[in-house]
Structure 1
């Protein structure tokens, strides 16, 4: 229904030809979906500090998916690899919904973490986040964060793992080590792993390798990210209502 309406409008405007009709319709549909999802995120955007969007920032569907998961599946221990918008939005969510949960945010760029930290403090949500500053180093076969800097208690249990760092161009399969290193901390009851940028060749290969390491997880592929889900009671994809 909505696609037919968009097609009719674009034709009247003389904006499409037979060759590019489907692409322009899909672009418009995606824009409307994103706008509506952003509207759903409004409680976490209004009356808070401005969010510094960069080229590395994920889209609203990605953020809404994570936030839905935390609420619907009662997630408590969140590890966010690649400090940024997700860190801030989750902390705001925990505050306004009075959720007793915590975030560990890992990044190699201390200056960027300081910017994120200052926003959290202005918003009064910094108590939910613990930062780990870990440089990127070459270790064995892969280049990843310095594992000696990433120390959790032996009984720590991760139920939500977000991976949007390090920057993919830093090295081949730059994000691969996240699951092999943190697998022992994943909750035995339920967990969700989000890997961003899986529209890129390296991340696609990482998904293939992780699938062998996480044989019981359900794998769902979305536009720019892939989800590994195990033991979650409820589905939590943010419907666009188109």
Structure 2
């Protein structure tokens, strides 16, 4: 009887956590929707960042006003960032790196339809074999570094780096290379966000990045943020 009660209470706690998380995502979705008119449909799939994660990114941009932003893996976040930059009239260079040319064109059409294309510079960087100086353990591939270097040649420092690509199944530790590749373009003032740190490879990546960068790491349910220890927590409001 006692064992059954323990199991019941454990399941109840799990359900309560799931309900709270669901409520949090609904609240974040409603907050994000205020950026667009009701007739605009923003596609979100299982590949997309969660609404709460996107809201955290927008909080960082709104409060810290980064001059240069780069994201690896374009998608719904690209649209929301571009919309915020337009609404706030920020003079920000926003670069979106994408490996899939068809998806990049789809995203470009979405940006054009919403009059946001001028707020994003897209870089098509195919997945290719990565130089060992940027790889980790048995990682084999990453984005084309030549394509990215050409696209960011006029930028000396990134204030915000968002890593939601490449596709995690493309190679072990698929997203590791972002930090070593951007070493000369970032500093202790840079904020990093890595999505999917609830997965084993990404858990190890964020540990390695934390050790390498000496930045403070905040781990959330599905993503992690690296920044100076003195920075305020800019994650979305908890309801």
TM-score norm. by structure 2 comes to 0.88
Spell out the pairing of 1:1-242 with structure 2 (5 A cutoff): 17-47=8-38, 49-141=40-132, 142-151=140-149, 152-153=152-153, 155-187=155-187, 190-215=189-214, 217-230=215-228, 234-240=232-238, 242=239
CA distance in 2, matches of 1:80, 1:137: 18
Question: Are the structure 2 counterparts of residues 122 and 34 from structure 1 closer, same or farther at C-alpha, using a change threshold of 3 Å?
Answer: same
Alpha-carbon shift at residue 166 of structure 1 (Å): 0.3
Alpha-carbon shift at residue 98 of structure 1 (Å): 1.5
- Tell me what 1:5 maps to: none
- 1:55-80 deviation per Cα after TM superposition (whole angstroms, max 9, x unaligned): 21011110000000001111121101
CA distance in 1, matches of 2:120, 2:39: 17
Question: Are the structure 2 counterparts of residues 21 and 139 from structure 1 closer, same or farther at C-alpha, using a change threshold of 3 Å?
Answer: same
Greater mean deviation of Cα atoms: 119-128 or 28-37: 28-37
CA distance in 1, matches of 2:36, 2:155: 34
Is the CA contact (8 Å cut-off) linking 2:72 and 2:162 kept in structure 1?
Answer: yes
- Tell me what 1:3 maps to: none
Is the CA contact (8 Å cut-off) linking 2:168 and 2:174 kept in structure 1?
Answer: yes
TM-score norm. by structure 1 comes to 0.87
Question: Are the structure 2 counterparts of residues 130 and 122 from structure 1 closer, same or farther at C-alpha, using a change threshold of 3 Å?
Answer: same
Is the CA contact (8 Å cut-off) linking 2:216 and 2:229 kept in structure 1?
Answer: no
Question: Are the structure 2 counterparts of residues 191 and 157 from structure 1 closer, same or farther at C-alpha, using a change threshold of 3 Å?
Answer: same
Tell me the number of residue pairs that the alignment of Structure 1 and Structure 2 aligns: 224
Is the CA contact (8 Å cut-off) linking 1:191 and 1:231 kept in structure 2?
Answer: no
> What is the root-mean-square deviation in Å for CA atoms of aligned residues?
1.9
Alpha-carbon shift at residue 91 of structure 1 (Å): 0.1
3-state SS, counterpart of residue 41 of structure 1 = helix
3-state SS, counterpart of residue 34 of structure 2 = helix
Is the CA contact (8 Å cut-off) linking 1:73 and 1:233 kept in structure 2?
Answer: no
Is the CA contact (8 Å cut-off) linking 1:106 and 1:132 kept in structure 2?
Answer: yes
Greater mean deviation of Cα atoms: 46-55 or 31-40: 46-55
Alpha-carbon shift at residue 53 of structure 1 (Å): 1.4
Gaps of 5+ in 1: 1-15
- 1:167-224 deviation per Cα after TM superposition (whole angstroms, max 9, x unaligned): 0000010001000001210146x21100000011100111111122101x11100001
CA distance in 1, matches of 2:64, 2:142: 30
Alpha-carbon shift at residue 230 of structure 1 (Å): 2.7
Alpha-carbon shift at residue 155 of structure 1 (Å): 4.8
